Structure 1
Amino acid sequence: MKTPAIPLSLLTLVLMAALVAPAPVAADETCNSPYTAPLIKGQEDYIHVWTLGVKGLGDESDKLVTVDVNPQSGDYGKVIDSVSVGGRGEAHHAGFTDDRKYLWAGRLDDNKIFIFDIGTDPAKPKLIRTISDFSDKTGFVGPHTFYALPGRIMVQALSNTSDHGGRTGLVIYNNKGDFVAQYDMPTGQYGEVMADGYGYDIGINPQKNVLLTSSFTGWNNYMMDFGKLVQDPEAMKHFGNTMVMWDLKAMTPHKVMSVPGAPLEIRWSLQEGDNWALSAAALTSKLVLIRQDEGGEWQAREVATIGDPAQVPLPVDISITADAKGLWVNTFMDGKTRYFDISNPQAPVQVYEKVIGAQVNMVSQSWDGKRVYFTSSLLANWDKQDDDNEQFLKLFHWDGKELTEQFALDFNKLQLGRAHHMKFSAKPAQTAALAETVGLTRHD
Structure 2
Amino acid sequence: MNKLYRLLAMLWLATIALMGGSALADETCQSPFLPKVTGQEDYIYVWTLGIKGVADGNDSLVTVDSNPKSRTYGQIIHRAPVPGRHEAHHAGFTDDRRHLWAGGLDDSFIFIFDVVANPAKPKLIKTIKSFVKDTGGLVGPHTFYALPGRMLITALSNATDNSGRTGLAEYSNEGRFIRTIWMPKEAPYGYDVRVNINLNRMLTSSFTGKKNYMRPLGELVKDASAMKEFGGAVVVWDFHARKPLQVLQIPGAPLELRWALMPNHYYAFTATALTHQLVLIYLQEDGTWATKAIADLGENLPVDISIAPDDSKIYVTSFMDGTLRVYDISNPFEAKLIEQVKLGEMANMVSESWDGTRIYVTNSLLSQWDKPGDYWLKAYAWENGKLVYKFTTDFNSVGRAHLMNFGSKALRTKVE
Tell me which interval the TM-score lies in, with the shorter structure as reference length.
over 0.9
Give the structure 1 partner of residue 383 of structure 2.
399
Map residues 1-16 of structure 1 onto 2, 5 A cutoff: none
Alignment of 1:298 onto 2:289 = yes
Mapped to 2, the partners of 1:313 and 1:222 lie a distance apart of 17
Between 49-58 and 297-306, the greater mean CA deviation after superposition:
297-306
Map residues 246-285 of structure 1 onto 2, 5 A cutoff: 246-285=237-276
1:373-406 deviation per Cα after TM superposition (whole angstroms, max 9, x unaligned): 1101000000002xxx220011111226322221
Corresponding pairs, count: 404
TM-score (norm 2): 0.94
Give the structure 2 partner of residue 167 of structure 1.
165
Q: Where does the alignment leave 5 or more consecutive residues of structure 1 unmatched?
A: 1-12, 188-194, 437-444
Map residues 113-152 of structure 1 onto 2, 5 A cutoff: 113-138=110-135, 139-152=137-150
Which SS does the other structure have where 2:388 is aligned?
strand
Alignment of 1:225 onto 2:216 = yes
Deviation at 1:432, TM superposition (A): 3.7
1:232-269 deviation per Cα after TM superposition (whole angstroms, max 9, x unaligned): 10010000001100001111101111010000000001
Mapped to 2, the partners of 1:263 and 1:19 lie a distance apart of 29
Which SS does the other structure have where 1:283 is aligned?
coil
Give the structure 1 partner of residue 399 of structure 2.
417
**Aligned pair partner of 1:379 in 349, 353, 366:** 366
Map residues 320-399 of structure 1 onto 2, 5 A cutoff: 320-385=307-372, 389-399=373-383
Amino acid of the structure 1 residue aligned with 2:341 = K
Mapped to 2, the partners of 1:66 and 1:288 lie a distance apart of 33
Percent identity, aligned pairs only, is 51
Deviation at 1:20, TM superposition (A): 4.0
Give the structure 1 partner of residue 176 of structure 2.
178
Alignment of 1:49 onto 2:46 = yes
Mapped to 1, the partners of 2:7 and 2:287 lie a distance apart of 22
Give the structure 2 partner of residue 75 of structure 1.
72
Amino acid of the structure 2 residue aligned with 1:272 = P
Amino acid of the structure 2 residue aligned with 1:321 = A
Mapped to 1, the partners of 2:202 and 2:45 lie a distance apart of 27
Aligned 8 A contact 1:314 1:333 in 2:
yes
Aligned 8 A contact 1:16 1:249 in 2:
no
Mapped to 1, the partners of 2:40 and 2:412 lie a distance apart of 12
Map residues 7-46 of structure 1 onto 2, 5 A cutoff: 17-22=4-9, 28-38=26-36, 40-46=37-43
Q: Where does the alignment leave 5 or more consecutive residues of structure 2 unmatched?
A: 17-24
Mapped to 2, the partners of 1:35 and 1:56 lie a distance apart of 40
Amino acid of the structure 1 residue aligned with 2:399 = G
Amino acid of the structure 2 residue aligned with 1:409 = T
Mapped to 1, the partners of 2:392 and 2:9 lie a distance apart of 37
Mapped to 1, the partners of 2:232 and 2:3 lie a distance apart of 30
Runs ≥4 residues deviating over 3 A:
15-20, 23-27, 430-433
Deviation at 1:98, TM superposition (A): 0.7
Amino acid of the structure 2 residue aligned with 1:329 = V
Mapped to 2, the partners of 1:356 and 1:51 lie a distance apart of 19
